[in-house]
């Protein structure tokens, strides 16, 4: 069943730019797509602006954590500020955390085959190959 190659989540352009320009390496989201593992790809989908995949990185870890623990462990690596996290995580006991490394921005954005929902989606082998072919 392992034709899952990665996972994507929609990220507003202003936060995506923190990954590109400020080398942030931790994504926090509300939905947990946990069938990916270390070494799979975390694919950036810019939900405003490009409305396309704009880069990817290798997943180091994916887990659920309490918001306070996220801030303690990843404070300077988070793509959102501690205040933004507090607001975003309101009334959520746990959040999805994806730590990644080796980020690579694509030379050109790649439009997804299917719409990326707010909850994100898995990237299967055929879409993965399409991204790989078109990213440069």
Model confidence over 19-28: pLDDT tens digits?
Answer: 999 999 999 9
Question: Binning pLDDT at 50, 70 and 90, where does residue 113 land?
Answer: confident
Domains and CATH numbers, the chain: 4-134 (2.30.130.30)
Please tell me which residue, 48 or 74, carries the higher pLDDT value.
Answer: 74
How many whole angstroms separate alpha carbon 126 and alpha carbon 132? 10
Interval 7-17 mean pLDDT: 95
**C-alpha dihedral, 115 to 121 to 59 to 81, nearest 10°:** 80
How many whole angstroms separate alpha carbon 54 and alpha carbon 2? 24
Give pLDDT, residue 2: 60
Tell me the whole-structure pTM to 2 decimals.
0.94
Model confidence over 52-95: pLDDT tens digits?
Answer: 999 999 999 999 999 999 999 999 999 999 999 999 999 999 99
In DSSP terms, 83 is beta-bridged to: none
DSSP-derived letter for residue 25 is -
Is 48 in contact with 13 (CB distance < 8 Å)? yes
Longest dimension (CA), the chain: 41
**C-alpha dihedral, 86 to 78 to 113 to 39, nearest 10°:** -130
């Amino acid at each position: 069943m392992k034709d899952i190659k990665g996972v994507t989540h929609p990220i507003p352009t202003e936060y995506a730019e923190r990954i590109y320009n400020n080398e942030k390496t931790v994504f926090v989201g509300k939905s947990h797509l946990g069938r990916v593992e270390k070494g799979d790809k975390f694919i950036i989908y810019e939900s405003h602006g490009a409305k396309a995949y704009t880069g990817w990185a290798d997943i180091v870890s994916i887990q659920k954590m309490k918001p306070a623990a996220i801030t303690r462990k990843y404070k300077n690596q988070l793509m959102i500020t501690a205040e933004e996290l507090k607001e975003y995580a309101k009334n959520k006991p746990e959040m999805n955390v994806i730590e990644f490394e080796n980020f690579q921005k694509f030379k050109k954005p790649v439009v997804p085959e299917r719409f990326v929902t707010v909850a994100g989606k898995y990237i299967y082998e055929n879409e993965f190959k399409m991204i790989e072919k078109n990213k440069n």
